[in-house]
Structure 1
């Protein structure tokens, strides 16, 4: 990690400075060893490693860490031998040297009082690692090392507080293959990979301890205040523009008055009244300085406005620059992780990182570390075969993963691609049917994009067995949720036998969002540009109606029209004009055309968090002020898509309300409450085919609000849901004086007798397990409870 050595370091002790030195130099050693392992004869890498080892040795000697001196000296000798062609840095020898790097890094993170105790408790490991480094040229292949040394839980030091790593970055799992030279080594298998001491799970507490606790909070608060002040300054600068426009209007009115005075003077000049002539001439002469005064002052205030705008915008830019970090600060440990993990699994994989100098907000950089980690681990475990299998498939024995970051259209674009085996879509389809997430007929008709979406569902995995690396169904759902929480989008593509590709788009900073500003019922609403696909004008003549839904043709696709005013509960949209202003949001099957009153254009908005007293506002993520000082609400697009789904599935579009009101009165209504989009959709379609009117709710709280707002003949609910589970929902319904007679059916994966008893004791009228679930089972149960669809 690079350090800013231009600052005042006088407040740090020599040991603090050594820690700073060790952080940067061990990274050089790690990068160099990985490069040598791949390139074999990279003279530049050897030279940089020799300098790094020499620097560490000198720094350690100054602070009296003799063990580090000996380790660095042994590594320096190995690099000299490699430079002279006497030592080949094979993967197993690189393992030995990386173990030395890990020990140095751990020792550098110890406090003074911890050093002696830690050295005593790990003396055998340290001694044998130093012996392995000292005799590395004579050790036969493979070389085995001791198990990793647990890292100490070190408290924060001033030197660590100035570490340039982004705050909040957790320790990374880094796997080492076959590292053990204990007297009785435990076998290391791919199912139980060993964790590297510098980067492993045991080191996570130490890594976390390195992060300054109060300082980042104060720094964040100071940054937010600075940004708010800078943004306010920019808004105030824009406020001068209306004043200048008023002065220009005053100048025009004044010019008209002066022209009239000139005409009046000419008329009086033709008379014989000397006194009137004198007065009219005096009035004309008085107009000249007034005219000059207005012209000069308008020019001055326009120049002042330009300077103020430039300074205020510069302030905003500089405050944001304080938050920006190069992409490498968040990913420099990934090559080591990929190398160690692939070796632990018996594979040969290399990582290429492109765009390391791309600047990213430090908070975003910290937040995306975990998603990127998941994607890389998935690529190694799921996508990559062994070298022999790759060669048999006509590919190079070494697998390649490419991680690229770049700025595109004012956004951060990250692409992760690998040349592994990709994803078998038929395997996804079979797993969907096997887990009863969709009927076989529906699954057979799903497109590639729809099938790939299942990979983002929680607990959905294609692995047949559970290992340390994967198979628990945890990974892509975390990626999806984390990226979404940062106002970003993630998209995956795969070609079976060719590879897998992930596209992530994020704002460069969360403090300033580039947004499309629209008008809805006289109010300003903004949509983050990253979540806007298109902005178009749709002629009234291009709008069609099919199955009571309005749509227009968009590139051969029927794209549904939804009123923004209705979704936001602001009233009806005025669609009297010849064209509709439309913002296309969402993707795939959940892509909609949001109809707004007008499009104002793009603006960079300084995000202002909504006061927590309001809680989470539906469909709204934050607020901001426009350049003219007008408040604007920033839409939460994922939340908005859920609201649109619910509105469409309820058949509640404004233009449909009158036509089917009578039909709704004589048809039985069912409320389906489930947090799984797939389950909700399947149950809705099954029930609608039998003629029932079906409304949906996305969790227990939503279900409770909906059931109280309408008349329902049946409620079907899941058990495990966020915010309020199904048991709580059943209990509330059965205790409500107005709702207690409404039948409630529980549909759950839980099929133990105690689960069934718990549901029925809460008041449920029927308990159906998803394990035995099929089309007729649900429909028969519904018929048993409430009969046919029509009253």
Structure 2
């Protein structure tokens, strides 16, 4: 898994540019959602985005951007308190976002000249954002499908979830009889040995010609003999009870699952009419054929499948089906055909949308990839057709050079791909130029049951959704090749990065044996081979949500129960890939079979939701010999603190999910972590802000506004000493 870019090679302005692009996207999407009627409560992430932009701009001394982001943050805070969002204010905020995006696109060499030339634009944007407007009464929030994510569970769905959990627990209790029966079998073997000794004792007593001893031995045998039958009866009854209990609880779980299922046709009935109307608006003729409408699917995810199929249908209509005259010229009927089919395949749900249109010319994808700067011309020319199809799933990627009402904006198949990934499924495209195009969406039948590959990592079982597993391999350790400091294997002529699953999960990095057990996860260029202890095999698992007390566990999707009755964690493959990339960018991936060369260095955890700030802090500390890990917010930082040992915590205050004050408070309440030194690095520099941080338990408070590299290093040295342990 070779990264395209290494953040350690970026300048601070490069990092600001990356952060400005990401936070501007958050602000733009959030403001548009508010304009469409989303609840005013959605302002919270927008305030955090503006705050992060302000801190990032301060780090690189962009004073006009700091003032603009500060004004945006204040305006968003005022809107949040007012509970209403005037349209004029949204217009002004969007104009401010546009200005920050333009700033991020300026080259570093011409930055000061650009700022001087656009000083008036910044002043005008700040004035427009702060100008008073008439506040209209709050508008009732309308559900926005794109922001809503999964639909809220209905009472029936909630009840079925609880029933499924109870059925799974009952099945687990039934499985617990197995070890009890095994212990009874051991007692039976011991009893047989005792009976054999009693028989020998009886024979010896008879041979001794002592009537009293012989009578006593006979009495003992008479009393002991019925016990054999009693124990055998109890074993038979327990075995029968277990079989019956497992059967009943399994049937109960199956019936609860059946209650959650419905025919996929329930969500497809409107598609033929939708296709007809859209085709007419485009001047085309089309018919839609439905196949497999009675295929059962989890009703909880059917609305999300409908949304994905809508995008797939629109793609077929606009990109695939030709105009009537073009079809006639190609010897095709004027009316195009789109087939939507669903079926069960290998324990998964397979939904296909295929058309008989023009298909996709691979050269058009190559040209678009170069045009969108997704690949160089040389690389695009070498890519096989199967990999070229994956470009169609990238955000912002479109084969059209201009947009119409239906497509060309680069939004569509990326949404379908994201849905597939979020549901532990996959999306595949196949094209026959001049004949047609097909999209295949593969998903688990239900989100309550997952077909998984069970592996051992760090001596414990873990499960990986089988839909996210590409291959399973066993190779000698000699097959590992080190290139550019990273270990790889050659898989059919392609280099795949190898990482230790135990290290990614924070379980250490045990030495690799002579044979490697590898699981290739991910897809396309974003994949890697996880080295695990052992591969147990496939199982169908009934998933269980984790208890809220555990919070969000990094790289873990949910829990489940193995066939043996033992608990297992189901890993989140996209999160695993993110964690692996993070270790790779930090240069912290440990080679299999090699000791950790950073074992003697002091370890620091940097927690900040600003990419610019945390990368700058990481670079400074790492350059002076400290071992540095980073977390993107308080929740991520709390999970990392609980899974590894650190000498110092450096944290921001304002962050999503869990802020720095909450993080420090949790740390001080934890028996293992409460003595760890803590430094707060925050843009807030008021006395009350400092007092709040120190009251929560911080040992040092450093303001980002007056931030200097020397100040950070001196503070860290004061708290934990130099980077090397004597």
Q: TM-score normalised by the shorter chain: which range applies? A: 0.5 to 0.7
Could you tell me how far apart the structure 1 residues matched to 2:398 and 2:657 are?
25
**Alpha-carbon deviations, 1:359-410, whole Å to 9, x = none?**
1110121211001000001100111111220221233332221211111111
How far has the Cα of 1:469 moved from its partner? 1.2
Could you tell me how far apart the structure 1 residues matched to 2:398 and 2:231 are?
73
TM-score after normalising by structure 1: 0.57
Aligned to 2:576: 640
Q: In the alignment, is the contact (CA less than 8 A) between 2:510 and 2:593 conserved in 1? A: no
Aligned to 1:369: 306
Could you tell me how far apart the structure 2 residues matched to 1:477 and 1:722 are?
25
Could you tell me how far apart the structure 2 residues matched to 1:661 and 1:627 are?
40
1:737–1:615 distance in 2 versus 1, CA, 3 Å = farther
1:329–1:248 distance in 2 versus 1, CA, 3 Å = same
Aligned to 2:280: 343
Q: Select 2:350's aligned residue among 408, 413, 433.
A: 413
Q: Select 1:316's aligned residue among 253, 256, 260.
A: 253
Aligned to 1:540: 477
How far has the Cα of 1:292 moved from its partner? 0.8
Q: In the alignment, is the contact (CA less than 8 A) between 2:561 and 2:568 conserved in 1? A: yes
**Alpha-carbon deviations, 1:50-93, whole Å to 9, x = none?**
xxxxxxxxxxxxxxxxxxxxxxxxxxxxxxxxxxxxxxxxxxxx
How far has the Cα of 1:648 moved from its partner? 3.4
**Alpha-carbon deviations, 1:76-133, whole Å to 9, x = none?**
xxxxxxxxxxxxxxxxxxxxxxxxxxxxxxxxxxxxxxxxxxxxxxxxxxxxxxxxxx
**Residue 528 (1) aligns with residue 496 (2):** no
1:697–1:394 distance in 2 versus 1, CA, 3 Å = farther
Q: Which has the larger radius of gyration?
A: 1
Q: Select 2:397's aligned residue among 452, 456, 460.
A: 460
Q: Select 1:236's aligned residue among 156, 166, 173.
A: 173
1:636–1:548 distance in 2 versus 1, CA, 3 Å = same
Could you tell me how far apart the structure 2 residues matched to 1:424 and 1:701 are?
47
How far has the Cα of 1:291 moved from its partner? 0.6
The 5-angstrom pairing of residues 517-666 of structure 1 reads 517-576=454-513, 578-612=514-548, 614-655=550-591
How far has the Cα of 1:321 moved from its partner? 0.6
Q: Select 2:709's aligned residue among 738, 741, 746.
A: 741
**Structure 2 unmatched ranges of 5 or more:** 1-141, 146-150, 602-608, 616-627, 645-654, 659-680, 685-700, 712-726
**Structure 1 unmatched ranges of 5 or more:** 1-204, 209-213, 666-672, 681-694, 710-720, 744-791
- Partner of 1:286, secondary structure, is helix
How far has the Cα of 1:627 moved from its partner? 4.2
How far has the Cα of 1:282 moved from its partner? 1.8
Could you tell which deviates more after superposition, 255-264 or 603-612?
603-612
1:551–1:489 distance in 2 versus 1, CA, 3 Å = same
Could you tell me how far apart the structure 1 residues matched to 2:576 and 2:326 are?
46
Q: In the alignment, is the contact (CA less than 8 A) between 2:683 and 2:705 conserved in 1? A: no
How far has the Cα of 1:703 moved from its partner? 12
Aligned to 1:11: none
Aligned to 1:755: none
**Alpha-carbon deviations, 1:175-218, whole Å to 9, x = none?**
xxxxxxxxxxxxxxxxxxxxxxxxxxxxxx9999xxxxx99632
How far has the Cα of 1:616 moved from its partner? 3.4
Q: In the alignment, is the contact (CA less than 8 A) between 1:235 and 1:626 conserved in 2? A: no
The 5-angstrom pairing of residues 489-504 of structure 1 reads 489-504=426-441
**Alpha-carbon deviations, 1:654-702, whole Å to 9, x = none?**
128979969xx9xxxxxxx999xxxx9xxxxxxxxxxxxxx99997999
How far has the Cα of 1:536 moved from its partner? 3.3
Could you tell me how far apart the structure 1 residues matched to 2:591 and 2:424 are?
32
1:279–1:696 distance in 2 versus 1, CA, 3 Å = closer
Q: Select 2:199's aligned residue among 262, 274, 284.
A: 262
Could you tell me how far apart the structure 2 residues matched to 1:697 and 1:403 are?
45
Cα RMSD of the aligned pairs, angstroms, is 4.4
Could you tell me how far apart the structure 1 residues matched to 2:515 and 2:317 are?
51
Q: In the alignment, is the contact (CA less than 8 A) between 1:527 and 1:635 conserved in 2? A: yes
**Alpha-carbon deviations, 1:560-604, whole Å to 9, x = none?**
32211011111013423x433322211222232212122333333
Q: In the alignment, is the contact (CA less than 8 A) between 2:157 and 2:260 conserved in 1? A: no
Could you tell me how far apart the structure 1 residues matched to 2:498 and 2:390 are?
23
Q: How many residues align?
A: 504
1:250–1:698 distance in 2 versus 1, CA, 3 Å = closer
How far has the Cα of 1:494 moved from its partner? 2.2
Could you tell which deviates more after superposition, 442-451 or 495-504?
442-451
Could you tell me how far apart the structure 2 residues matched to 1:659 and 1:326 are?
54
How far has the Cα of 1:548 moved from its partner? 3.6
TM-score after normalising by structure 2: 0.62
Could you tell me how far apart the structure 1 residues matched to 2:682 and 2:314 are?
41
- Partner of 1:655, secondary structure, is coil
Q: In the alignment, is the contact (CA less than 8 A) between 1:574 and 1:597 conserved in 2? A: no
Could you tell me how far apart the structure 2 residues matched to 1:593 and 1:422 are?
33
Aligned to 2:239: 302
Q: In the alignment, is the contact (CA less than 8 A) between 2:498 and 2:528 conserved in 1? A: yes
- Partner of 1:583, secondary structure, is strand
Aligned to 1:202: none
Q: In the alignment, is the contact (CA less than 8 A) between 1:734 and 1:740 conserved in 2? A: no
Q: In the alignment, is the contact (CA less than 8 A) between 2:500 and 2:592 conserved in 1? A: no
The 5-angstrom pairing of residues 470-485 of structure 1 reads 470-485=407-422
Q: In the alignment, is the contact (CA less than 8 A) between 2:289 and 2:337 conserved in 1? A: yes
Q: Select 1:404's aligned residue among 341, 352, 365.
A: 341
Could you tell which deviates more after superposition, 360-369 or 585-594?
585-594
Could you tell which deviates more after superposition, 627-636 or 502-511?
627-636
Could you tell me how far apart the structure 2 residues matched to 1:431 and 1:736 are?
42
Could you tell me how far apart the structure 1 residues matched to 2:706 and 2:529 are?
38
Could you tell me how far apart the structure 1 residues matched to 2:512 and 2:637 are?
34
Could you tell me how far apart the structure 2 residues matched to 1:297 and 1:704 are?
53
How far has the Cα of 1:652 moved from its partner? 2.6
Q: In the alignment, is the contact (CA less than 8 A) between 2:465 and 2:570 conserved in 1? A: yes
How far has the Cα of 1:537 moved from its partner? 2.7
The 5-angstrom pairing of residues 383-398 of structure 1 reads 383-398=320-335
The 5-angstrom pairing of residues 215-294 of structure 1 reads 217-294=154-231
Could you tell me how far apart the structure 2 residues matched to 1:216 and 1:655 are?
45
The 5-angstrom pairing of residues 175-254 of structure 1 reads 217-254=154-191
Q: In the alignment, is the contact (CA less than 8 A) between 2:499 and 2:592 conserved in 1? A: no
1:659–1:432 distance in 2 versus 1, CA, 3 Å = farther
Q: In the alignment, is the contact (CA less than 8 A) between 2:511 and 2:594 conserved in 1? A: no
